[in-house]
């Protein structure tokens, strides 16, 4: 029984990520088909073909991506985001989701550009974090100085984290990309695929 239990767990761990990924794709597709498909059926009637909702959702997303290349559309989009940021509750939820998605957006210039270990306590204990700011010239006095950096410390298995101001001599650069660092921290150190990055630590 013990042998069967171990093999079952190994099999479950192998198929679970694939199953969840496929389910997410299925959920997105069925949601697009359900919401957008109803609109399309109302417009074109019997000419509707199953799958047009998914296609229409893809085209809308692609169109927004193209329009975001235009300064005017980006400005309008930013105004919409600003309105959401003023609604209690939605502000925190939207901001957390946006930041999480931004972590994995390789096409977007990230504010987080360096992975570091922050020494705490007896110096033998360290927390993994991401440097978000090295200059405080544009901020009120007292937040930081030229010997301080801002480091974001994400928390495992949840959205959120802490931003701390740390003396530069308390951080140690790590040869790890931001994406891999986030993967490592969010899974509590369980996952960090790939070999060590080839780029030198900064």
Tens digits of residue pLDDT in 8-50: 888 888 898 888 889 988 998 898 888 888 888 888 888 888 8
Domain region containing 124:
114-186
CA-closest candidate to residue 106, choices 180, 156, 173: 180
Give the helix ranges, DSSP H, for the chain. Answer: 2-44, 52-67, 71-84, 90-103, 178-186
Q: How many domains are there within the chain?
A: 2
Dist. CA 167–CA 145, nearest whole Å: 9
Tens digits of residue pLDDT in 76-126: 888 888 888 788 877 777 777 776 676 566 555 555 668 888 888 776 788
Q: Are residues 127 and 47 in the same domain?
A: no
Give the domain CATH number at 150.
2.30.30
Query: Residue 4 — very low, low, confident or very high, per pLDDT cuts 50/70/90?
Result: confident
Which of 63, 82, 103 delimits the end of a domain? 103
Q: Are residues 137 and 181 in the same domain?
A: yes
Write down the pTM of the prediction.
0.48
Q: Tokens standing for 194? A: 């790939």
Q: Please give the backbone phi and psi of residue 82, each rounded to the nearest 5 degrees, phi first.
A: -60, -35
Tens digits of residue pLDDT in 156-190: 877 678 888 888 888 888 888 877 887 788 787 77
The residue with tokens 């003023």 is 86
Assess contact for 185 and 178: CB atoms under 8 A.
Answer: no
* Residues paired with residue 131 on neighbouring β-strands, in sequence order: 114, 151
């Amino acid at each position: 029984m013990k042998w069967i239990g171990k093999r079952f767990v190994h099999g479950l761990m192998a198929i679970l990520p694939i199953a969840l990924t496929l389910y997410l794709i299925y959920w997105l597709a069925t949601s697009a088909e359900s919401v957008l498909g109803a609109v399309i059926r109302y417009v074109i009637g019997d000419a509707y073909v199953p799958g047009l909702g998914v296609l229409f959702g893809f085209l809308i997303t692609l169109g927004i991506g193209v329009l975001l290349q235009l300064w005017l559309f980006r400005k309008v989009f930013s105004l919409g985001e600003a309105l959401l940021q003023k609604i209690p509750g939605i502000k925190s939820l939207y901001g957390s989701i946006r930041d999480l998605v931004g972590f994995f957006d390789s096409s977007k210039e990230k504010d987080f550009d360096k992975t570091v270990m922050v020494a705490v306590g007896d110096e033998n204990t360290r927390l993994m974090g991401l440097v978000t700011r090295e200059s405080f010239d544009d901020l009120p006095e007292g937040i930081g100085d030229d010997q301080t950096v801002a480091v974001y410390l994400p928390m495992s298995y949840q959205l959120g984290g802490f931003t701390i101001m740390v003396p530069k001599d308390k951080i140690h650069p790590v040869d790890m990309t931001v994406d891999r660092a986030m993967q490592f921290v969010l899974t509590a150190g369980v996952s960090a695929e790939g070999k060590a990055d080839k780029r030198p630590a900064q």
